[in-house]
Structure 1
């Protein structure tokens, strides 16, 4: 298969490209700076101004591009978070519109931020009422833009990522205070962390890519979320560091501003679509997943 990917050089995208190449699929990575990368036998880097008619038949499109959520959420940063997602998604939609033969599937990155936050609610793909905070609004607009693919009669999947555990992403930030012997719960520690190992992220994206009956929202999370208090205890155990310091939420908000929302609040999200379709998680349990990230 020929797969077109945006965000192909990022954390998730680079892992996905490698996995697809290993299965003999050719990956076309859409990037703003193709000249900075070297093509290989199974990977080609192309710019957003690339002439669509020069592409071979594209069987699937995977949209993973977007400005990082990490950093102080100034107005400029928040604008970058939303515009990078909307504009890139719209560009991909426009590219697919130009294709004589449309892709079989469009998989677009999304986030469990869609659901808003709660300490006691359980969210699945059947939850249709979004939250009302900044991230929820970003995801709603992001998915609305991607929904245009359905009008092109392309099977469309919205992969809502949880907290991804790997060498990059959120985990290094979560590990830092523990490694500095200042690890402990954040706030009251009751907020849920809906996490997922990078290996399951890559496998679930491919699961959606190759299973033609899957469409709509798909939660990319472990079936066993953990509260912050428990998550941090397990992380401290794996890192062989003490767990004893509690960091009040107001201090977190003072230091990193509105981005603290990612740390002090959470949601219990279940991957119902994956379970209903008999996907077998490689790392369903937190301690095993964290130990694997340390071995990588």
Structure 2
């Protein structure tokens, strides 16, 4: 378990790398959703997603401990982030990606200086291969979410939201492996516990939802959801207890709802977000959050989209 002190330390350690992203407001979406709608714009973050926060916190720690080679496993955004910060710190990095990795994410990983290897289609397969590579080359594996330093880095988003919008009543967060929401939950619930935090998963990638219902970590088959950053088959053993302790609710959205939300944000706000980010907007648009007349902050987790 992490505590808010860890997130404050992460904030100090990563502030010279990351951007403090703005919170946007949309009158149009506010009218559609029946709440005042605000958006934490992590799609405008360096490398195009929130992942740079946790990656920077963890990679910096490993480099301080003399790591000379870095590996990770990623469908794209985490790999881009690790490649970026490893290159900045002068350490070679290899990213193990799924065999069906989007071409734009492959090119971005390489542009940031990372070497890419494809292996399998599930998160577990590529994590296993990345750990194997690290062992072979006496390197260090950087987990995409199941790590205290990664979660603490992601939690800095929660601190920023509270500072930027003190009147926030509800924060809505996408859930993949759970690192983002675990960090934000810790930051918010240990600082301002009356603020609700609601997680969102695609209906066809609902592992955390099912895990909470059953009371234990539950695995689901590999998903083909358009929200490719949320395709984890089960929550992390470190992220799950934090979610279980703090989350106010988890809601599910359909593929059509995700697409509609992504397009509406582009049309009304002129912001290009990826489907994994659009799930939070989809939850608000569909009325599934169960609140009215509140100040809602949707975390727009990334904007790395194959525009073709």
**Same fold at TM > 0.5:** no
Structure possessing the higher radius of gyration over alpha carbons: 1
Larger RCO: 1 or 2 (CA < 8 Å, sep 6+): 2
The normalised TM-score by structure 2 is: 0.29
The TM-score normalised by the length of structure 1 is: 0.30
